[in-house]
């Protein structure tokens, strides 16, 4: 038992040292310290190795052996195909928005942020929305990486919660999906990853970090529970998934804090809406979350009292009649954290990309109209 106690004190980081590595360490230590030779020494070495194995099975060494966590690479390989890019344009094409989304059902339902798809000039969804699917390999060539696309329509959105549900049209399914997990299982200190399209970075970029804090009723919005993380987020990450070490979505990346009131820069402060809030909102819209709840004990979630806007499917231009933003909720005693929607600086190619894709789509539409005119004249 003394050797087991000593093994407990071995300084290990969670799931970073393999059983094989610990065995090698013991062998090196024994070679350096043991003066015995022959069968006696071999028996001593085998006894230590067996003790390491027993300690692993009994949970004395949390960082060894029973490593259920996926690596960032494994998470990316399994989850990124269900992550999409979203671009929205006004009728004139003079302005637009871009962000990230997650396919949550095989029929093409996509979860994202409301501020990605709502035109701030009108308070209504952009009349032209396009969703881009991830290529098998991201090359850095936008013409190649953004070759698979389809039109999208807004099914519902909530500006207080900053959530929107889209329907991908024009592409055959079924589509890969990301599972909405129970965010109550996640705790401060847990490792997380994000996938998105950040400014100054590449498309379908992976960033890593940890959960730093939690807030309820974030920015005085009832029912808006969020994680604070150190995961690197920038403009273009909005609406993308925050994933746990099982590759399941526990949050929707929503906001960042970059500048303090006195003008000092802020770093490593990002916010993600908890998945349980998103699941409750989806249920409120009448959207089945059977797949999302497969691994969850029905969580207790504070329900937002603000109405979301439910739109008839298939209507992308002027959907519905009244899409005014809901009234501002009354303040709550929870802390108010000053944050910007992800984010506001504009040195990046996102604006250029929006204009570029807008022109490409406009040219394609003009070509189709011209071809239809020629065929009609025959």
Q: Within a domain: residue 31?
A: yes
Q: Is the pLDDT of residue 258 over 50?
A: yes
Which is catalytic among the residues 80, 149, 158, 238?
238
Give the mean pLDDT of 136-146: 90
Structure tokens at 24: 């090698």
Q: Within a domain: residue 28?
A: yes
Inter-helix orientation angle 19-33/39-58, to 10°: 150
Which segment of 63-67, 134-138, 139-143, 280-284 scores lowest on mean pLDDT?
Answer: 63-67
CA–CA gap between residue 362 and residue 359 (Å, rounded): 5
Q: Within a domain: residue 51?
A: yes
Q: Within a domain: residue 202?
A: no
Which segment of 31-40, 119-128, 167-176 scores lowest on mean pLDDT?
Answer: 31-40
To the query of whether residue 95 is one of the catalytic residues in this protein, the response is no
Q: Within a domain: residue 144?
A: no
Strand, helix or coil for residue 89: strand
The tens digit of pLDDT for each residue in 327-343 reads 334 444 444 444 445 54
Give the mean pLDDT of 105-113: 95
To the query of whether residue 238 is one of the catalytic residues in this protein, the response is yes
To the query of whether residue 115 is one of the catalytic residues in this protein, the response is yes
Which is catalytic among the residues 162, 181, 182, 244?
162
Give the mean pLDDT of 237-257: 94
Structure tokens at 61: 């060494």
Q: Within a domain: residue 50?
A: yes
Residue with the larger pLDDT of the pair 18 and 66? 18
Q: Within a domain: residue 37?
A: yes
Question: Whole domain around residue 39: which residue ranges?
Answer: 2-58
Which is catalytic among the residues 79, 115, 183, 244?
115
When the pLDDT of each residue in the chain is averaged and rounded to a whole number, the result is 75
Question: Which band of pLDDT confidence, cut at 50, 70 and 90, is reported for residue 94?
Answer: confident
Q: Is the pLDDT of residue 192 over 90?
A: yes
Q: Which residues contact 163 (CB under 8 A, 6 or more apart)?
A: 111, 112, 113, 114, 157, 252, 273, 278, 281, 308
CA–CA gap between residue 279 and residue 104 (Å, rounded): 11
Task: Please state the domain count of the chain.
Answer: 1
Strand, helix or coil for residue 63: coil
The tens digit of pLDDT for each residue in 47-84 reads 666 765 655 444 444 434 335 789 999 999 999 999 99
CA–CA gap between residue 316 and residue 126 (Å, rounded): 8
The tens digit of pLDDT for each residue in 347-371 reads 345 677 777 777 776 666 666 566 6
Q: Within a domain: residue 34?
A: yes
CA–CA gap between residue 287 and residue 284 (Å, rounded): 7
Structure tokens at 267: 């770093």
Strand, helix or coil for residue 5: helix
Q: How far is CA 85 from CA 183, 196, 206, 347, in A?
A: 24, 8, 14, 19
């Amino acid at each position: 038992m003394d050797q087991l106690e000593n093994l407990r004190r071995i300084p290990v980081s969670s799931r970073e040292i393999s059983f094989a590595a610990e065995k090698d360490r013991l062998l090196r230590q024994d070679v350096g310290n043991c003066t015995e030779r022959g069968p006696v020494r071999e028996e001593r070495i085998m006894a230590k190795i067996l003790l390491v194995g027993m300690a692993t099975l009994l949970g004395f060494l949390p960082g060894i052996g029973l490593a259920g966590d996926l690596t960032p690479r494994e998470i990316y390989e399994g989850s990124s195909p269900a992550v999409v890019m979203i671009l929205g344009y006004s009728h004139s094409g003079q302005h637009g928005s871009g962000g990230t989304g997650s396919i949550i059902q095989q029929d093409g339902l996509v979860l994202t942020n409301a501020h990605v798809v709502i035109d701030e000039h009108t308070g209504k969804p952009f009349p032209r929305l396009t969703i881009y699917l991830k290529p098998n390999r991201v090359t850095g060539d936008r013409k190649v990486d953004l070759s698979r696309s389809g039109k999208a329509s807004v099914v519902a959105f909530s500006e207080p919660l900053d959530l929107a549900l889209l329907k991908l049209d024009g592409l055959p399914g079924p589509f890969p999906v990301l599972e909405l997990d129970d965010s109550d299982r996640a705790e401060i200190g847990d490792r997380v990853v994000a996938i998105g399209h950040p400014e100054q970075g590449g498309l379908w970029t992976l960033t890593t970090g940890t959960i730093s804090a939690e807030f309820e009723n974030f920015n005085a919005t009832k029912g808006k529970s969020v994680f604070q993380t150190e995961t690197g987020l920038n403009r273009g990450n909005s609406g993308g998934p925050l994933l746990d070490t099982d590759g399941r979505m526990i949050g929707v990346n929503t906001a960042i804090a970059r500048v303090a009131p006195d003008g000092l820069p802020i770093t490593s402060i990002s916010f993600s809406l908890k998945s349980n809030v998103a699941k409750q909102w989806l249920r409120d819209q009448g959207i089945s979350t059977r797949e999302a709840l497969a691994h969850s004990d029905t969580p207790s979630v504070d329900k937002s009292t603000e109405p979301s806007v439910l739109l008839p499917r298939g209507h992308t231009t002027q959907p519905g009649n009244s899409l005014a933003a809901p009234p501002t909720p009354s303040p709550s005693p929870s802390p108010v954290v000053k944050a910007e929607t992800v984010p506001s600086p504009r040195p990046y190619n996102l604006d250029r990309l929006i204009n570029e894709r807008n022109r490409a789509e406009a040219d394609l539409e003009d070509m189709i109209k011209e071809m239809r005119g020629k065929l009609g004249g025959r």
